[in-house]
């Protein structure tokens, strides 16, 4: 019998029990969709970090503890490190040195969480992030150092409902006045609140301390060699953009594994549903299989028929699962665009391939035992059943 005829018979076998078939396919659909949505978060964030950091990040970041202590290290590095790097700058091809103080303000409402980013007022925001542009108000000048002023990212201003001249409280003791609002040029900095470095140091009691020192090079291709030289001479940590992206990728891989483990539970439940549906079909169609054997069908054909039914169920459920996952990704991105102007989830070709691959695997595993049972049908016993 031709392969096409085998699939037609498998399809007829499933459509005889439409309600059971639909419910089973729905279970796989939900399982695959949940996996697609969970894993798409890692794919989307990976794209955001790769695109954004490649255009706005410093060539080298010098800190006390490196990335292992968090993406926004607390101010623990002596500000005298700036002078130490300046002494090495001519020999290493360093063109710009920017001390940075970072502080996170978190909230149960994610839209109210922001990053305070302190830079020298004389250097200004655009030295650290040259692709940003001003929407309204004014940027820092050297005279603003130590003054209670702030320049806000577009999303931070929107989420906090602030405008030019508004007062922003940093904590119970300190507040600043909004003097500038940026255009939404970068998703990563849209939630930043930029402050003169000494203003932020005074507000968080970190005088003389910085979180990191951002370094720009005359030749960015020498970043690794310069970073190694800084590590050797200063006995500090120095990471390049590539190091940071590798760190982010490792972190996302770990989170991918956790999310996949969570979705694996629903995938197993979906596989058991397929196995149950196909096994019930085998018991209900014992006489049918006995008749097929009696007219010359080999046990291998009967096993292939049952496996085909299982695969069809899994593939249909997988296809609809990807479509449902795509709708879920759209919903996630709608939320994250409103929250932080980023697409946090993405459906990539490898994720589609993984979803279909797991659907096929589920179909094969769920159909093995029912197929073996059907293939071992004894003709006389099957035809003797009433």
Cα–Cα distance for residue pair 349/322, rounded to 1 Å: 11
Q: Residue 337: what pLDDT?
A: 81
* Tokens 């990728």 belong to residue: 249
pLDDT above 50 (res 169): yes
The DSSP bridge partners found for residue 332 are none
Cα–Cα distance for residue pair 148/364, rounded to 1 Å: 65
Q: Residue 65: what pLDDT?
A: 77
Q: Residue 385: what pLDDT?
A: 53
Confidence of residue 380 (pLDDT cuts 50, 70, 90): low
* Main-chain phi, psi angles of 305, to 5 degrees: -65, -45
pLDDT tens figures, 84-97: 999 999 999 999 99
317 and 355 Cβ atoms separated by less than 8 Å = no
168 and 116 Cβ atoms separated by less than 8 Å = no
Instruction: Enter the DSSP assignment of 220.
Output: G
Q: Residue 147: what pLDDT?
A: 94
pLDDT above 60 (res 379): no
pLDDT above 70 (res 386): no
Cα dihedral sign, 295-298-301-303: positive
Determine the 3-state secondary structure of 314 from DSSP: helix
Measuring CA to CA, how many Å separate 308 from each of 5, 243, 284, 290? Answer: 11, 48, 17, 18
- Estimate to the nearest angstrom the gap between the alpha carbon of 225 and the chain centroid: 31
Confidence of residue 291 (pLDDT cuts 50, 70, 90): low
* Whole-number average pLDDT of the chain: 82
Q: Residue 166: what pLDDT?
A: 93
Burial category of 134 from C-beta neighbours within 10 Å (exposed 0-12, middle 13-18, buried 19 and up): middle
Confidence of residue 70 (pLDDT cuts 50, 70, 90): very low
pLDDT tens figures, 346-361: 888 888 898 888 888 8
Q: Which two tokens stand for residue 372?
A: 């073996």
Cα–Cα distance for residue pair 255/16, rounded to 1 Å: 42
* Main-chain phi, psi angles of 93, to 5 degrees: 75, 30
- The radius of gyration computed from the CA coordinates of the chain, to the nearest angstrom, equals 30
User: Beta 114-119 vs 192-196: how paired, if at all?
Assistant: parallel
Q: Cα angle vertex 10, ends 305, 299, to 5°?
A: 15
pLDDT above 80 (res 239): yes
pLDDT above 80 (res 60): yes
Q: Residue 288: what pLDDT?
A: 65
Question: CB within 8 A of 115, min separation 6: which ones?
Answer: 72, 102, 103, 104, 105, 191, 192, 193
The fraction of the chain above a pLDDT of 70, given in percent, is 85
């Amino acid at each position: 019998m031709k392969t096409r005829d085998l699939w037609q018979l498998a399809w007829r076998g499933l459509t005889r029990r439409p309600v059971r078939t639909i419910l089973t396919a729905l279970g796989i659909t939900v399982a695959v969709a949940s996996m697609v949505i969970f894993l798409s978060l890692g794919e989307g964030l990976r794209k955001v970090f790769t695109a954004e950091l490649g255009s706005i990040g410093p060539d080298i970041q010098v800190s006390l503890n490196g990335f292992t202590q968090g993406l926004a290290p607390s101010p623990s590095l002596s500000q005298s490190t700036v002078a130490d790097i300046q002494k090495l700058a001519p020999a290493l091809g360093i063109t710009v040195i920017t001390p940075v103080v970072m502080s996170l303000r978190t909230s149960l409402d994610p839209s109210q969480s922001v990053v305070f980013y302190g830079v020298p007022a004389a250097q200004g925001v655009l030295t650290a992030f040259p692709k940003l542009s001003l929407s309204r108000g004014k940027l820092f000048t050297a005279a603003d150092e130590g003054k209670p002023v702030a320049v806000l990212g577009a999303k931070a201003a929107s989420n906090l409902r602030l405008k030019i001249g508004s007062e922003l409280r940093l904590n119970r003791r300190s507040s600043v006045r909004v003097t500038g609002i940026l255009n939404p040029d970068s998703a990563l900095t849209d939630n930043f609140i930029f402050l003169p470095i000494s203003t932020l140091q005074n507000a968080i009691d970190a005088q003389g301390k910085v979180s990191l020192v951002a370094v720009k090079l005359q030749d960015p291709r020498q970043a690794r060699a310069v970073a190694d030289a800084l590590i050797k001479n200063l006995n500090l940590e120095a990471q390049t953009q590539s190091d940071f992206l590798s760190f982010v990728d490792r972190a996302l891989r770990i989170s991918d594994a956790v999310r996949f483990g969570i979705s694996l539970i629903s995938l197993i439940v979906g596989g058991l549903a397929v196995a149950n549906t196909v096994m019930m079909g085998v018991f209900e169609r014992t006489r049918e299989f006995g008749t097929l054997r009696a007219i010359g069908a080999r046990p291998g054909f009967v096993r292939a028929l049952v496996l085909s039914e299982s695969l069809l169920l899994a593939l249909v459920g997988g296809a609809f699962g990807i479509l449902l996952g795509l709708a879920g990704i759209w919903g996630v991105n709608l939320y994250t665009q409103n929250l932080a102007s980023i697409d946090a989830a993405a459906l990539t070709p490898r994720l589609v391939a993984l979803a279909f691959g797991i659907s096929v695997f589920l179909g094969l595993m769920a159909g093995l035992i029912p197929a073996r049972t059907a293939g071992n049908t004894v003709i006389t016993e099957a035809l003797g059943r009433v």
